[in-house]
Amino acid sequence: MTAKMLFFLLLFVASKALARELIDVKAESISVSAVLFFGDSTADSGNNNYITTPFRSNFSPYGRDFVNQTSTGRFTNGRLANDFIAKYVGIKDYVPPYLDPTLSIEELMSGVSFASAGSGFDPLTPKISNVISLSDQLENFKEYRAKLEAAIGKDRTKEHFNNALFLVCAGTNDFVVNYFTIPIRRRSYTIPSYMDFLLQESRKFLQGLLDQGARRIGVVGLPPMGCLPAVITLYADNPITKRDCISKFSFIARDYNQKLAIELRSMQLHLQPFGTRIAYLDVYGPVEDMILGRKYDFEEVSSGCCGTGMLEASFMCNSRSSVCADAAKYVFWDSMHPTERSYDLLFQAVRPAIDALITN
């Protein structure tokens, strides 16, 4: 072996060892005490099971590919992004709903979801569906904090929240269920002014989390709303034969996301001296990639797996509905919500932003 070949061999071995060392350092530098979720159906793991609302999914065929084919109240065929995130940070395999009365203090401590399907930043949005508003989710969190303080003390609870990961996912219902569908907000707000109103409400909610001890917060942006099967069905000129995304609705989501990212950067800069981290999590790009076939091999991108896939969601997707054979070939499970595979891909897409939040 020549001296040059020996040099490159030693360099290769050293680089491999360094890579392993960096991975070990990264793993040791990640410390997450709990995962806590707020928002709408993309984060609701079953809270709506415990309130009176038509926005439920605790029945077949929801949960068809979950453990024991259990319909938990998750609006998909299996796991949510919540569950993938919780497992990734080493907390738990599945995130339960806060309102589940059977949860132990240990289960509560490691993380729960406060989210409610049908909710949004606009206080009017949850009233339309009779679901849990963001302000009430914050009140539930305060109650949760009191439970932890009673169990482990105020100082340990404060430290617990310092190392917890908070994720907020809301806004789609504010447009799709509220602004686009009923005329109340359209009488008072243009689309740009409604965006500003939602950003004001989101900032108010985030400040509420900060006041209660949150220090690592990720905020999920809007998907390309014009690609949701229900939106295509309701607003396309010929939704039966032509199921392309409706650009004007997706552009609204894109513009809102740009404003949201700026708002979060502003909050981050203001809070930076206090060690708080706030990050924008982009799902618009990944969902668009799925729809347009840029990176993934989905066979059906404009209709859901349940029923016709054009309008069915919640109680309209039920045990009498026909269901596709393989949900992994579909971007959407019903007319509004992604499949488990899509949620897994979305988690992978936002993982770098999560790493930035949780790495010490």
**Rounded Cα–Cα distance for residues 78 and 80 (Å):** 7
The alpha carbon dihedral of 176, 177, 182, 187 has a sign of: negative
Q: What is the largest CA-CA distance in the chain?
A: 80
Q: What angle, rounded to 10 degrees, do the helices at 191-211 and 134-152 form? A: 10
Q: What is the DSSP string of 34-59?
A: -EEEEESTTT-SSGGGGSS-S----S
SS3 label, residue 305: coil
Would you state the structure tokens that stand for residue 226, as one six-digit string?
């014009």
**Rounded Cα–Cα distance for residues 308 and 310 (Å):** 5
Q: Which residues contact 249 (CB under 8 A, 6 or more apart)?
A: 175, 180, 224, 225, 226, 231, 235
Q: What angle, rounded to 10 degrees, do the helices at 134-152 and 154-162 form? A: 130
Q: Which residues, listed in sequence order, are joined to residue 165 by a DSSP beta bridge? A: 35
SS3 label, residue 339: coil
Q: Could you tell me the CA-to-CA distances from 352 to 51, 275, 285 in Å, in that order?
A: 35, 19, 14
Residue 248, amino acid: K
Q: Do 94 and 101 touch, CB atoms closer than 8 A?
A: no
Residues labelled catalytic: 41, 334, 337
Q: Please give the torsion angle defined by the CA atoms of residues 293, 74, 253 and 209, in that order, rounded to the nearest 10 degrees.
A: -130
**Number of helical (H) and strand (E) elements in the chain, helices listed first:** 13, 5
Give the β-pairing of 165-169 and 216-220.
Answer: parallel
